[in-house]
Chain A
Amino acid sequence: MSYTLDQRQLDRIEDILKADLVDNGVRCVFLIDMAGNIITHMDNGEKQHDIYSLAALAAGNFGAVSAMAKIIGENEFSLLFHKGKKENIHFNKISSEFLLITIFGNEISLGFLRMKVADSVEQLKGLLEPLVPGTDG
């Protein structure tokens, strides 16, 4: 099973991520699927990360935490946050198949970031949900 996104769809997605996140000071944002594929990736040009490895680990990490949720009787943890000294990473589930990941510094508050991420997620849902029938998992 595969799925495609065309120029118009990807432009729309990138517009949303740019306006909500990159223009608000997020260092790096990427949209991935639960298989670990990268749908789109944007950054403020400061730092180059190994995005393919990050995506693979992020999908694995999110999958592992979801499996833990099931074991303790939670339906899911729809968002995750890892705090570092200078860099923080935030994961937000968009649907059963997609995940939005942001990397940001301490100049942005977690509350503000969450609000902006929630805005993006709301808009992305409508675009992404029709793409993939939720057969995986």
Chain B
Amino acid sequence: MAFINLKNKVIQVKIVYYGPGRGGKTTNLEYIHRRFHDRIHAEMVTVKTHGDRTLFFDFMPFDLGLIHGYQIKVQLYTVPGQPKYNATRKLVLRGVDGIVFVADAMAVCRESNVQSLRNLQENLAAYRKNLATLPWVLQYNKIDLAEQGIPVLSVDQLEQDLNRGFGRPAFPASALKGINVAATLKKIISLAVTSIREELM
């Protein structure tokens, strides 16, 4: 639910990183914070447990600069991935304008990726939204693990499992090494902003 301030010419856009627990959502935001520190004028806010897992969400405002005379302020959120935190996950989705689904490419995570995507669809339905109409992209994270001989799913396999019928942009990535983290972010912001613009016209 983007808010457009016509007086100050500011558009606020909400992007949520979603996906199974330990898939790399928080690591994406940490990388973005390091890489784009000139556009982020605040510390990352994180509500987490003692065990360092995301409890409620991570949050980081990101200044995109001017587009067509409007200042775009992107609000980046992550959700807690663990199944037991569904209530808070649902809250974070409220008013979302775009989603990055961060899948864990490790072979052992195949089932939890699928379950998390299904959970996302259920939670969106509560807000009368769905993946057919909402701007969203996929990120297949942790591809760097293949070099260490850890079994990872092939992109074909991940596409089959998660993107069949959707055909959304998908990025093999390593949030840890910063591979395709910026590309993922750029894509989702561009899709979300386009969708807001179309809605206004």
Contacts and interface: CB of A to CB of B under 8 A. Distances in A.
To the question of whether A and B form a pair in one complex, the answer is yes
B5 A2 contact: no
Given A4-B200, A56-B59, A37 B127 contact: no
B99 to A, nearest CB: 13
Interface residues of A, number: 30
A113 interface: no
Interface residues of B, number: 35
Given A52-B61, A56-B75, A56-B77, A2 B3 contact: yes
Interface string B6-29: 111000101000000000000000
B56 A37 contact: no
Nearest to B8: A10
A136 B4 contact: no
24 contacts: A2-B2, A2-B3, A5-B3, A5-B6, A5-B7, A7-B6, A10-B7, A33-B1, A35-B1, A35-B94, A37-B75, A38-B3, A39-B3, A39-B5, A50-B42, A50-B43, A52-B42, A52-B75, A53-B42, A53-B61, A56-B57, A56-B77, A135-B128, A136-B1
B12 A67 contact: no
Interface of B: 1-8, 12, 14, 42-43, 45, 47, 56-57, 59, 61, 73, 75, 77, 87-88, 91-92, 94-97, 126-128, 196, 199-200
Interface in A50-68: 50, 52-53, 56-57, 59-60, 63-64, 67
Contacts of A39: 3, 5
Contacts of B73: 52
B6 A35 contact: no
Contacts of B2: 2-3, 37
Given A1-B199, A2-B2, A2-B3, A35 B45 contact: no
